[in-house]
Amino acid sequence: MARLRLALTLAAIVSIAVGDRALAQAAAPAPQTPPDPSAVLLSPVVSGPVNNTTSADDTPLPPREPSARIALNRGEFTAVRQSEYEQSRRESLARPQADDPDDGLAYLTRGRYRRGADGLASRSQWEDTSTRQSEGWLAGLWSKWFGRGDDGRTPGERFGDRVGEMVNGGRDPIRERKWFESDHAFCDFVSPLSNPFFFEDPRTLSEVRGVGFYQQTPAGDRFNSGNAWFLGGQGRLAFTERFSVVVHKLGFAAFNPGGGSIFRGGSGLSELWLGPKYVAYRDPEFKSLITLGAQFQIPLGSSSPLQDTGSLSIVPYVSAGQKLLSTQIGTFNGMASAGYSFSTNRDRSDFFYASAHLDFDIGNGHRFYPVAELNWFSYTTDGRERPVGVEGRDFANVGGAARGTNLVTWTLGLRWRSLNGRWEVGGGYEGFLFGQRGLFNGRVMLDLIWRF
């Protein structure tokens, strides 16, 4: 009997020990799993009072979870060039800092980056993150010219800075610019299509542009439904981001009137037009440009296509460009140019011209741009070279008695550009709107641009 009692006692002791060990294993905390890498910021989770670790009845509280967890996704970050990092940092430090202590780190998020062909992230030339753009064009323009900017500077202070830029040729001391490189701060614009020899692009560019057009002449005893065409090119060379030299017109021209016309017609070398161009106002952030230039028209061409009238004409002009409206489906850009052509003798006619351009960047893809343009020519003096009452607009200065006449035309076309912005192709049709037709009765045009 004693042995039985001893065996039962030993069995009870063993069962109690085994049960306690099982309970201890069940109460052991589960191993912690790493936080979910997809979580960026979790809501706070509080299991008890902030300063106490026990409840009122001295029962231990479960461990408190952190108020927030932050996880970084490496796939959303790419390397940034050291020069771009330094430039963004200097721009941020140059601006007055706000009360927000995080404002000093604003340079880390300024601009958007895209991966380039070399595998590194490069600053996008297309994105405009200016909040003023969303205010509307007129409100933003008023704030830019007359109000205090986001940087806290007055218009007078900004004007002083621009005077300094004009002195150093517009060269940014932080950004290294290649020799004769085009101004890439406005590379989401496209060049005008019609009136190619007068309607000057306001940007500072280095490019070669091939130009060709075919136009019909009106019916009548002067031309008898003839035609005229031009095939040649233009060249632009940018010395700084503000100063460039332009060859506006050089090539071959032909004038073919119908039978019985008072003109004999023919083909040959065209006039040579060239001159300097200077960007007087340049705002890459707001996408604004104002350019001043002068064009010298030298009539060294052949007489049969009317390219030898008089001795010389000088054309001072102004051109401007502006980003107008940005939407999710595309962006509207506008350009305008105006000038006055006056001759050094009375053989050539004097006239005023103005051109306007509107394009639409489809889907903000910077590839396809529908274009609409208007052109106006108004003659103020008579030429004395030929005894006719008409003029030739941009094709030729006929030297006729066309004082008081006007010609307004419209243009619809399309431009395509390569993704890197080096190549640009445009084509369209220009039609008569109202006024005296002169040599013009409709034109088909095409150009090809290679840009550096």
Host domain of residue 297: 184-451
Same domain, 137 and 279: no
Please determine, for residue 74, whether its predicted confidence score (pLDDT) is greater than 90: no
Q: What percent of the chain has pLDDT over 90?
A: 46
Instruction: Determine which of 139-148, 187-196, 213-222, 395-404 has the lowest per-residue pLDDT on average.
Output: 139-148
So what's the pLDDT on residue 120? 37
Cα separation, 192 vs 358, whole angstroms = 9
Question: Residue 91 domain-assigned?
Answer: no
Question: Residue 226 domain-assigned?
Answer: yes
DSSP lists the bridge partners of residue 415 as 369, 426
Question: Residue 416 domain-assigned?
Answer: yes
Q: Which CATH number goes with the domain that contains 301?
A: 2.40.160.40
So what's the pLDDT on residue 38? 46
So what's the pLDDT on residue 397? 93
Domain boundary among 116, 141, 167: 167
So what's the pLDDT on residue 140? 60
Give the confidence band of 309 by pLDDT, cuts at 50, 70, 90: very high
Same domain, 158 and 230: no
Cα separation, 172 vs 135, whole angstroms = 28
So what's the pLDDT on residue 179? 85
So what's the pLDDT on residue 373? 97
So what's the pLDDT on residue 334? 96
So what's the pLDDT on residue 193? 95
- State mean pLDDT over 315-320: 97
Same domain, 145 and 191: no
Averaged confidence pLDDT in the chain = 77
CA 323, chain centre distance (Å): 8
* 316 φ/ψ angles, rounded to the nearest 5 degrees: -75, 145
* 293 φ/ψ angles, rounded to the nearest 5 degrees: -155, 170
| 340-388 pLDDT tens trace | 999 998 899 999 999 999 999 999 989 999 999 999 999 999 999 988 8
Same domain, 237 and 163: no
pTM to 2 decimals? 0.63
Same domain, 283 and 389: yes
CA 375, chain centre distance (Å): 23
Same domain, 395 and 446: yes
Q: Round to the nearest angstrom and report the end-to-end CA distance of the chain.
A: 110
Number of domains in the chain: 2
CA 230, chain centre distance (Å): 30
Nearest-5° Cα angle at 85, 82 to 89: 140
Same domain, 143 and 288: no
- State mean pLDDT over 108-116: 41
Question: Residue 140 domain-assigned?
Answer: yes
Same domain, 286 and 412: yes
Same domain, 364 and 424: yes
Same domain, 156 and 237: no
Please determine, for residue 76, whether its predicted confidence score (pLDDT) is greater than 60: no
Q: Which tokens in the block code for residue 305?
A: 């296509």
Same domain, 254 and 362: yes
- State mean pLDDT over 216-241: 87
| 124-145 pLDDT tens trace | 333 343 434 444 556 565 665 6
- State mean pLDDT over 232-254: 95
So what's the pLDDT on residue 41? 47
So what's the pLDDT on residue 313? 95
Please determine, for residue 107, whether its predicted confidence score (pLDDT) is greater than 50: no
Whether the CA torsion 326, 330, 331, 332 is positive or negative: it is negative
**CB-CB contact of 232 with 198 (8 Å):** no
Which of 351, 358, 352, 357 shows the shortest CA–CA distance to 325?
Answer: 358
Question: Residue 153 domain-assigned?
Answer: yes
Domain boundary among 167, 194, 221: 167
So what's the pLDDT on residue 50? 46
- State mean pLDDT over 271-300: 95
Same domain, 269 and 405: yes
Q: Which one-letter amino acid corresponds to residue 140?
A: G
Please determine, for residue 405, whether its predicted confidence score (pLDDT) is greater than 50: yes
Please determine, for residue 187, whether its predicted confidence score (pLDDT) is greater than 70: yes
Of the two residues 52 and 389, the one the predictor is more confident about is 389
CA 268, chain centre distance (Å): 38
Cα separation, 280 vs 266, whole angstroms = 42
So what's the pLDDT on residue 279? 95
Please determine, for residue 266, whether its predicted confidence score (pLDDT) is greater than 70: yes
- Per-residue CA distances from 347 to 387, 394, 404 (Å): 11, 17, 17
* 185 φ/ψ angles, rounded to the nearest 5 degrees: -70, -15
Please determine, for residue 39, whether its predicted confidence score (pLDDT) is greater than 80: no
Question: Residue 385 domain-assigned?
Answer: yes
Cα separation, 182 vs 203, whole angstroms = 8
Please determine, for residue 430, whether its predicted confidence score (pLDDT) is greater than 70: yes
So what's the pLDDT on residue 339? 97
Q: What percent of the chain has pLDDT over 70?
A: 62
So what's the pLDDT on residue 99? 47
Question: Residue 87 domain-assigned?
Answer: no
Question: Residue 83 domain-assigned?
Answer: no
Give the confidence band of 257 by pLDDT, cuts at 50, 70, 90: confident
Secondary structure, 3-state, 284-312? CCCCEEEEEEEEEEECCCCCCCCCCCCCC
